Structure 1
């Protein structure tokens, strides 16, 4: 694992220290890693949404579409243990 040192203004350091204490993180590094993971997930979701928005329309999202989607979801959930 690599090490990175960052400089923070005192109010930011106090905020991180409070988050570590109140949210059950063992260290400030764990808290920062969690923030980075969430940002990575956010960026991945954004890329997926943009790709979806740029893709061709496959079907009209009307009541029948959502009914069929519900049926598929129920069928999948009924097959899981």
Structure 2
């Protein structure tokens, strides 16, 4: 495993140590790894959402009414 040294202001260091003291993490390194993993997951979710938005915009304007779309969704859910 690679090593990285990070400098934190006292307030942030204290926060990280308090999270460990609560028992949710085994060490401050474990806490920081969790933060990085969560940031990666959020970024991946943001990218997927942006891709869906871009795809929707590129598909053009639909001729269907919102009622038609809602009815299609209801029918799909009904089986």
Q: What range is the shorter-chain TM-score in? A: 0.7 to 0.9
**1:65 to 2:75 alignment:** no
- Map residues 1-81 of structure 1 onto 2, 5 A cutoff: 1-55=1-55, 56=59, 62-71=69-78
Q: Which structure would you say has the larger Rg?
A: 2
SS of the residue corresponding to residue 40 of structure 1 reads helix
Unpaired stretches in structure 2, ≥5 consecutive residues: none
1:23 CA drift (Å): 4.6
- Taking structure 2 as the reference length, the TM-score comes to 0.75
Unaligned stretches of 5+ residues in structure 1: 73-81
| Total equivalences in the alignment | 71
